[in-house]
Amino acid sequence: MISKDFLKDNIKTLIYALIIAIFIRSIFIQPFYIPSSSMEPTLLMGDRLFVTKFSYGYSKHSFPFSPPILKSRIFNRIPKRGDVIVFKTPADNRTDYIKRLIGLPGDTVQFLDGDIYLNNNQILKTIKKKDDKLFCGNKIINVNTYIEKLPNDKTYKASYRTDVSFYNSDKFLVPENHYFFLGDNRDCSKDSRYLSEVGYVHRDNLVGKAQILFFSSDRKKGSIFNIIKWNEILRFDRFFKKIK
């Protein structure tokens, strides 16, 4: 027969473990899973990564279920252009998105002839690979992949469809305390270009900075529980890879 003291001690242990886990997840680091292809080729569907919660300070969205315990951001730190960031979408303040930061408060962003202009200056890009192939949902699309360079010398890969691309846009003026994000898979990403769905993201909606991949699997090739096919399913070359 199990004694009451035994049950009591185990319940206490579980409660303490839960509190510690919530504390670590809220204050320090949180794992995230990539369910879409909007950040290819940087992040692939099936990637699992760690996000540091302390990188930009804390808001109510730093905590599970976004409890209204903070009215604004505390210990605020300004993110850098080119950072890959997890944020809550302004549409519902609940859904997690991950995109690359392009525009800071006061910046202008515009697409002209398929190129990005930041504050009226073209973001430099050099071809990395022509006729590349990426996922867009369950479809495979043909893209050209470039290395883009931001004014702070941050470089990263970005891909554009070879057939129909996001070619021209109005000029976006980033409001005070807001940020402008783009997906690296430029023609397969709902991001700040779509004002009714994402739009400008308030600084309080920032969750954290994506830092490192710790695991990656290709679910299209099978379940990770199928051990004999691990050489096909697991992307070992992506384990513990720093996110650029």
List the domains of the chain with CATH numbers.
4-242 (2.10.109.10)
The yes-or-no answer on residue 38 being catalytic is yes
The yes-or-no answer on residue 99 being catalytic is yes
Give tens-digit pLDDT for 117-147.
999 999 999 999 999 999 998 899 999 999 9
User: Which spans in the chain are helix H?
Assistant: 4-27, 230-233
Band (pLDDT 50/70/90 cuts) for residue 219 is: confident
Count of helices and strands (H, E) across the chain: 2, 15
Helix (H, G, I), strand (E, B) or coil at 150: coil
- Does 3 have pLDDT greater than 70? no
Given 38, 62, 189, 216, which residue is catalytic?
Answer: 38
Given 99, 125, 157, 209, which residue is catalytic?
Answer: 99
Instruction: List Cα–Cα distances, 139 to 104, 172, 188, 219, 232, in angstroms.
Output: 33, 30, 10, 15, 20
Q: Are 180 and 155 in contact (CB under 8 A)?
A: no
Predicted TM-score (pTM) of this structure: 0.91
Q: What integer pLDDT is reported at residue 6 of this predicted model? A: 53
